[in-house]
Amino acid sequence: MDIKDKIIKLRKDIKMYSDYYYSNDSSLISDIEFDKLMKQLKELEDEYPEYKDSSSPTEKVGATDMKSTKFQKVTHKRPMLSLSNTYNESEIKDFTDRVKKLLPDNTDVNYALELKLDGLSISVTYEKGKLVKAVTRGDGQIGEDVTENIIEIESLPKILKEPVDIEIRGEVVLPLSKFEKLNKKRLEMGEDVFANPRNAASGTLRQLDSSIIKERGLDAYFYFLIGAENMGFKSHSESLNYIKNLGIKTTGICEICKSANELMKRIDYWGEKREELDYETDGMVIKVNNLNLWDILGATTKSPRWAIAFKFPAKQVTTKIDGVTWQVGRTGKITPVAELKEVELSGSKVKRASLHNFQEIKRKDIKIGDTVFIEKAAEIIPQVIKSVKELRTGKETDIIEPTNCPICNTKVVREEGQVDIKCPNTVCPGKIEGELIYFVSRDAMNIAGFGSKIVENMLRLGFVKNIVDIYDLKRYREQLQNLDKMGEKSVDKLLASIEASKKRDYSKVLCALGIPFVGKTSAKLLAKASGNIDTLINMSVEELMQIEGIGDKMAQAIYDFFRDEDKLKLVIGLKEHGLQFSQDKETKADGDNILAGKTFLFTGTLKNFKREEIKEQIEKLGGKNLSAVSKNLDYLIVGEKAGSKLKKAQDIGTIKIITEDEFIDMCNKK
Ligand code: IVH
């Protein structure tokens, strides 16, 4: 394809995606993919200016085709511009450098940092303090009059505290709690769910029936007062305070920073903190705070030069499914995994994503060759959310459920009422590999340096055939050292980690055994209640059910597990190698469980612990972690910049509020 054709194709694709988004309230591709296409086009147009064209999407903001809209069109008094995006500190530095370069030497520049709400932008006009008009962004020049609908947003004042003439700009959002409720209801009614809160907000605002707005709980936050520089304000932050005092909800935080480095520190902070907010944020907005500098800096046709957006790593991206592999897990469950065209998601490269089971594939109508949305929820493996049917070419093929195990070819079984298929072969190599990977994993024996690749290699070479063999690996020291990429040092390290794992607590060993339904928390309960493996093995289902936190399904699974000869052999083998099969005295005696019976929660940034570490410490000493402030909470540990949890705890009044140092003292008391 020559350059001209490439440019034409990019413009056509971008226009199609953009038009679809603005008239259907849902996207065919993710923002990141869309940005990438835009960037490609922009680069080509810059490199080959002979092909520049004023109708190119790079010259426009938002919707490119306003024909299909259902509302009255209104021309904005001032165009509603967009923002350029940045993704890392060096791009922020480029921005601050650029700002400095455009200003006279030694100009003192402050930056206001705000959350970037992920909804749809709106411009609202008040005359003599009365709300008279609300218009969507549209193509940036012409938007849609949605006044009838906007007035249904409860938090938005219809009359201001003062009779002023102002135009403000902000973002209409659907709070996350409302979004979840809405999707749940839609699912129950058999309707399509909204892919994300932004689409839901957009779909809701553009409803012809305005009563739906109130019902669904739409909200709006504002971040911009038009013409603030001519109203006597010196800074953007000052103008936001002004509108706040008039009764308007603003984006909440507006922090002042002096440098790219300082901005990045606060962005990192909010990157974590945003998870606690009830609305979706897709990044932060950095604005030059001094209003008198805005004019000097000016704007391009698309965006102002005094502001820029920083985008948080995306949780959702689009890519293509190249194929499907059926994976056998440690329990024999056979799971479909999508093999993807590699994409970046939340900062890591992703090539595979879970498709859960065949029923899900059918329900979501997913085919090989489809463009799909994938998502990574907090630390979980990526999952395929939905396929984009509009992008099908006809060459896509159906995914077929296997009748035989893809590893050992045994005929698969499906238990009654279950959706999953399973391999019933107890010695299926796929299953054994899964058991081994689980055994060495972090929550179980946590054998450092023993990843799934090594498990795979050891199995392939015949050095291990089952879990117990891990503890005999030292016999193969020489052979291991001769292996590609292993080397003397890493072999010694691996063998040392294996030895060290023999000291892991009884509860970790219990977890590592891979009893169905027993994870690290239930393993701890079982370890504490039984004291040693022999007692546990001899417990009846009823006795097991009496242990707090152990339900009937788990009790039965534990009972069955220890009635399986192979599993008993595993226990005996591991015992012979010296693994811990009884509760450590230190944690058994309640007196040493210094935090026993106490509940904890922490807030803010801690200086001595990572989030997971403090939780572990609390549990290790017998305490319990709570997930929210409630009357059941005994201690709130406050770090730096403690947020709303602190206020809530103070309001309740009975909660002891302690510092991190006081918590450490508590742990060290004997
Ligand atoms: S300022 C001319 N501030 O992000 C400056 N925008 O990608 C206008 N947005 O069109 C934008 N939160 O819809 C600004 N705190 C914030 C924002 C924000 C969300 C949206 C807005 C804008 C888009 C740009």
CATH code, domain with 53: 1.10.287.610
Contact criterion met (CB below 8 Å) for 146 and 136: yes
| Distance from the alpha carbon of residue 374 to the mean position of ligand 1, in angstroms | 25
Q: Could you give the C-alpha distances from 242 to 15, 112, 437, in angstroms and in order?
A: 39, 15, 58
pLDDT score recorded for residue 588: 45
Express each pLDDT in 106-151 by its tens digit.
Answer: 899 999 999 999 999 999 999 999 999 999 998 889 999 999 899 9
Express each pLDDT in 204-257 by its tens digit.
Answer: 887 777 778 888 899 999 999 999 989 999 999 999 999 999 999 998 789 999
Is 405 inside any structural domain? no
Measured distance CA(30)–CA(17) in Å, rounded: 10
Is 190 inside any structural domain? yes
Written in H, E and C, the secondary structure of 193-204 is CCCCHHHHHHHH
| Distance from the alpha carbon of residue 74 to the mean position of ligand 1, in angstroms | 20
453 confidence band (pLDDT: 50, 70, 90)? confident
23 confidence band (pLDDT: 50, 70, 90)? low
Residue owning the nearest CA to atom 9 of ligand 1:
116
> What residues contact residue 626 under an 8 Å CB cut-off, 6+ apart?
599, 600, 601, 632, 633
3-state secondary structure of 597: coil
pLDDT over 60 (residue 399)? yes
Catalytic annotation, residues: 116
377 confidence band (pLDDT: 50, 70, 90)? low
More confident residue, 419 or 544: 544
Q: How crowded is residue 422: how many other Cβ atoms within 10 Å of its Cβ?
A: 20
423 has binding-site annotation: yes
Q: How crowded is residue 94: how many other Cβ atoms within 10 Å of its Cβ?
A: 14
202 and 277 fall within a common domain: yes
> Which amino acid is present at 565?
E
348 and 458 fall within a common domain: no
237 and 364 fall within a common domain: no
Is 610 inside any structural domain? yes
137 has binding-site annotation: yes
597 confidence band (pLDDT: 50, 70, 90)? confident
387 has binding-site annotation: no
Q: What is the mean pLDDT of residues 562-567?
A: 92
User: What are 256's two structure tokens?
Assistant: 């002042």
91 and 149 fall within a common domain: yes
Residue owning the nearest CA to atom 4 of ligand 1:
116
pLDDT over 70 (residue 635)? yes
135 and 176 fall within a common domain: yes
pLDDT score recorded for residue 585: 57
Is 65 inside any structural domain? no
CATH number of the CATH domain containing 661 = 3.40.50.10190
Residue owning the nearest CA to atom 2 of ligand 1:
81
Is 647 inside any structural domain? yes
User: What are 651's two structure tokens?
Assistant: 């309001």
Measured distance CA(247)–CA(232) in Å, rounded: 20
> What residues contact residue 472 under an 8 Å CB cut-off, 6+ apart?
464
User: What are 295's two structure tokens?
Assistant: 């004019």
CATH number of the CATH domain containing 576 = 1.10.150.20
Residues in contact with ligand 1 (CB, 6 Å cut-off) = 81-83, 114, 116-117, 121, 171, 223-224, 251, 285, 304, 307, 309
499 and 625 fall within a common domain: no
Is 300 inside any structural domain? yes
570 confidence band (pLDDT: 50, 70, 90)? very high
Measured distance CA(321)–CA(439) in Å, rounded: 31
Q: Which atom of ligand 1 is nearest to the CA of 81?
A: 2
Q: What is the mean pLDDT of residues 49-63?
A: 78
Run of H or E residues at 209: none
Q: What is the mean pLDDT of residues 485-512?
A: 88
Contact criterion met (CB below 8 Å) for 137 and 61: yes
**Which alpha helices (H) appear in 441-577, and where do they start and end?**
452-461, 477-481, 487-500, 506-512, 520-530, 533-538, 541-545, 552-561, 565-576
276 has binding-site annotation: no
Contact criterion met (CB below 8 Å) for 473 and 498: yes
Q: Could you give the C-alpha distances from 143 to 138, 139, 357, 653, in angstroms and in order?
A: 4, 7, 44, 50
| Distance from the alpha carbon of residue 593 to the mean position of ligand 1, in angstroms | 51
Q: Which atom of ligand 1 is nearest to the CA of 303?
A: 2
User: What are 105's two structure tokens?
Assistant: 């030497």
Measured distance CA(401)–CA(413) in Å, rounded: 12
80 and 153 fall within a common domain: yes
| Distance from the alpha carbon of residue 88 to the mean position of ligand 1, in angstroms | 18
Contact criterion met (CB below 8 Å) for 104 and 242: no
pLDDT score recorded for residue 590: 45
Is 401 inside any structural domain? no
207 and 148 fall within a common domain: yes
Is 420 inside any structural domain? no
* Phi–psi pair at 655, nearest 5 degrees: -85, 130
> What residues contact residue 34 under an 8 Å CB cut-off, 6+ apart?
14, 17, 18, 27
266 has binding-site annotation: no
For 591-615, b where at least 16 C-beta lie within 10 A, e where not — what string? eebbbeebbbbbbbebeebeeeebb
Q: What is the mean pLDDT of residues 316-322?
A: 91
Long-range contacts of 391-399 (CB under 8 A, 24+ apart): 391/28, 392/367, 393/369, 395/369, 396/367, 396/368, 396/369, 396/370, 397/367, 397/368, 397/369, 398/367, 398/368, 399/324, 399/336, 399/355, 399/358, 399/361, 399/366, 399/367, 399/368
pLDDT score recorded for residue 67: 41
- Beta-bridged to residue 387, according to DSSP, are 372
* Phi–psi pair at 322, nearest 5 degrees: -85, -30
Report the relative pairing of strands 371-375 and 316-328 from DSSP bridges.
antiparallel
pLDDT over 70 (residue 36)? yes
Contact criterion met (CB below 8 Å) for 429 and 534: no
Contact criterion met (CB below 8 Å) for 289 and 235: yes
91 and 224 fall within a common domain: yes
519 confidence band (pLDDT: 50, 70, 90)? confident
Tell me the Ramachandran region of residue 513: left when phi exceeds 0, alpha when psi lies from -120 to 50, beta otherwise: alpha
Calculate the CA 339 to chain-centre distance: 21
Task: Please state the domain count of the chain.
Answer: 6
Residue owning the nearest CA to atom 21 of ligand 1:
121
Written in H, E and C, the secondary structure of 342-402 is EEEECCEEEEEEECCCHHHHHHHCCCECCEEEEECCCCCCCEEEEECHHHCCCCCECCCCC
Q: How crowded is residue 471: how many other Cβ atoms within 10 Å of its Cβ?
A: 18
Measured distance CA(241)–CA(149) in Å, rounded: 26
| Distance from the alpha carbon of residue 349 to the mean position of ligand 1, in angstroms | 28
Q: How crowded is residue 378: how many other Cβ atoms within 10 Å of its Cβ?
A: 7
pLDDT over 90 (residue 607)? no
pLDDT over 50 (residue 68)? no
| DSSP secondary structure code for residue 88 in this structure | S
pLDDT score recorded for residue 616: 79
Q: Which residue segment(s) compose the domain that 184 sits in?
A: 75-311
**Mutation test of ligand 1: which of 87, 121, 282 has the most ligand atoms closer than 8 Å to its C-beta?**
121
Residue owning the nearest CA to atom 7 of ligand 1:
83
Contact criterion met (CB below 8 Å) for 504 and 620: no
More confident residue, 407 or 663: 407
Q: What is the mean pLDDT of residues 288-317?
A: 90
**Mutation test of ligand 1: which of 21, 22, 35, 116 has the most ligand atoms closer than 8 Å to its C-beta?**
116
Q: Which atom of ligand 1 is nearest to the CA of 120?
A: 13
The domain boundary residue, chosen from 344, 370, 393:
393
pLDDT over 70 (residue 337)? yes
| Distance from the alpha carbon of residue 165 to the mean position of ligand 1, in angstroms | 22
Q: Residue written as tokens 């932050």? A: 237
Contact criterion met (CB below 8 Å) for 315 and 377: yes
- Radius of gyration of the chain, Cα coordinates, nearest whole angstrom: 30
34 has binding-site annotation: yes
445 and 554 fall within a common domain: no
Contact criterion met (CB below 8 Å) for 144 and 74: yes
pLDDT over 90 (residue 661)? no
632 confidence band (pLDDT: 50, 70, 90)? confident
489 and 436 fall within a common domain: yes
> Which amino acid is present at 182?
L
- Give the total residue count for the chain: 670
Measured distance CA(338)–CA(190) in Å, rounded: 26
Write down the mean pLDDT value for the chain.
87
CATH number of the CATH domain containing 293 = 3.30.470.30
More confident residue, 669 or 590: 669
Q: Which atom of ligand 1 is nearest to the CA of 116?
A: 12
Question: For a pLDDT cut of 90, what percent of the chain falls above it?
Answer: 48
510 and 527 fall within a common domain: yes
Residue owning the nearest CA to atom 13 of ligand 1:
121
